[in-house]
Copies of this chain bind each other. A is one copy, B any other.
């Protein structure tokens, strides 16, 4: 199955590659904008192509509850339903079941949970998660796992990762579209190196065409996160794509790449954008700040995106104060462009064996 992924170059641990998926090629390292409910918030598919997003996420938990995977399947899958013809990755729903819903009661079979929309009761199992994801039809789907919280007792994490391995095995057995959808495994193990090793061993024993590292950026200090990340990434096979789930800041992405990660997703550029926080090559700013009241500069003078080519900080700030949707649109557009451009620059630097120089220059200019 490794034919899907071609490693093009390695530069001191950082990797550049190409992932070939049913709906197109993905150039790694890649950032995947999050489209929770079948749309990347405030963006149109046309705009996502404008900024050259190569792959986006969909959330199984949300789409299962609304509008329902059976409806989406009837429309020919999520690609057709949402009018997006490039690759999609769906998560397993596990993370959202634990973080979004009321009552979550874990059994060997699966997880009982309540909908955050109407309080209705549901039971999510590895089999149901895969059934939903098969209906949605994303290019990459994820095995059903438990993302342990931080902090968590070692004994609990051990029990959890063993159950997660059993769930992932059942996920693989339930999968029906091996030729059209790659099923990735997920490594857990909390902040314990030996448990990360144990989880990696168990998940690799099951065997998947790609591996994700879950359970990071869940509240732990950054130094612990990066220590566990680099330790875990080293355990994974070189010829398979590696995906760090739900991370993170521009620094996190650069450090993740340095640890050998190929794929990232995070709500940060979209959520922050809607809250007025925009990323520039000199660091983050909040466009709502009074200091931008009469600022005629664009969000970032070094940026070539639609928002920066056409609008001033003062105008976008005005749109915010006036509760105009265009403010959310412009900030989201810019932030996603920034994240994708960052990854494209990282990729280029890896191909040129200049990743270290790129990182140094970025860190010097970027004031978080």
Bits for A316-348, please: 1 = Cβ < 8 Å to B, else 0.
001101101110111000000000000000000
Q: How far is the CA of A43 from the CA of B312 in the complex (A)?
A: 17
* Contact for A310 among B83, B310, B314, CB less than 8 A: B83
Asked if A51 lies at the interface with its beta carbon under 8 angstroms from chain B, I say no
Whether A314 contacts B46 by the Cβ 8 Å rule is: no
* Contact for A81 among B37, B312, B330, CB less than 8 A: B312
Instruction: Give the chain B neighbours of A121 by CB distance below 8 A.
Output: none
Add 5 more A-B contacts to A39-B324, A75-B315, A83-B310 (CB < 8 A): A37-B318, A43-B326, A66-B318, A67-B318, A71-B293
Taking A325-B42, A329-B44 as contacts, is the C-beta distance between A314 and B83 under 8 angstroms? no
The 9 closest A-B pairs by CB, nearest first: A83-B310, A67-B318, A37-B322, A42-B325, A39-B326, A39-B324, A81-B315, A83-B311, A325-B325
A contacts, CB < 8 Å to B: 37-39, 41-46, 62, 66-67, 71, 74-75, 81-83, 293-294, 296, 306, 310-312, 314-315, 318-319, 321-322, 324-326, 328-330
Instruction: Give the chain B neighbours of A310 by CB distance below 8 A.
Output: 45-46, 83
Q: How far is the CA of A294 from the CA of B70 in the complex (A)?
A: 10
* Contact for A315 among B66, B83, B306, CB less than 8 A: B83
Taking A66-B318, A71-B294, A321-B67 as contacts, is the C-beta distance between A326 and B42 under 8 angstroms? yes
Q: Which residue of B lies closest to A317 (CB)?
A: B67
Instruction: Give the chain B neighbours of A326 by CB distance below 8 A.
Output: 39, 41-44
Taking A43-B326, A67-B321 as contacts, is the C-beta distance between A75 and B37 under 8 angstroms? no
Tell me how far the C-beta of A59 lies from the nearest C-beta in chain B, rounded to whole angstroms. Answer: 11
Instruction: Give the chain B neighbours of A74 by CB distance below 8 A.
Output: 294
Whether B71 contacts A314 by the Cβ 8 Å rule is: yes
Tell me how far the C-beta of A326 lies from the nearest C-beta in chain B, rounded to whole angstroms. Answer: 5
Q: Which residue of B lies closest to A46 (CB)?
A: B306
Q: How far is the CA of A41 from the CA of B322 in the complex (A)?
A: 11
Instruction: Give the chain B neighbours of A322 by CB distance below 8 A.
Output: 37-38, 62, 66
Instruction: Give the chain B neighbours of A325 by CB distance below 8 A.
Output: 41-42, 325, 328-329
Taking A71-B294, A329-B44 as contacts, is the C-beta distance between A37 and B306 under 8 angstroms? no
Q: Which residue of B lies closest to A318 (CB)?
A: B67
Most B C-beta atoms less than 10 A away, residue of A43, A294, A318, A328: A318
Tell me how far the C-beta of A292 lies from the nearest C-beta in chain B, rounded to whole angstroms. Answer: 11
Whether A66 contacts B321 by the Cβ 8 Å rule is: yes
Whether A41 contacts B324 by the Cβ 8 Å rule is: yes
Q: How far is the CA of A329 from the CA of B45 in the complex (A)?
A: 12
Tell me how far the C-beta of A247 lies from the nearest C-beta in chain B, rounded to whole angstroms. Answer: 24
Q: How far is the CA of A120 from the CA of B74 in the complex (A)?
A: 55
Q: How far is the CA of A85 from the CA of B334 in the complex (A)?
A: 22
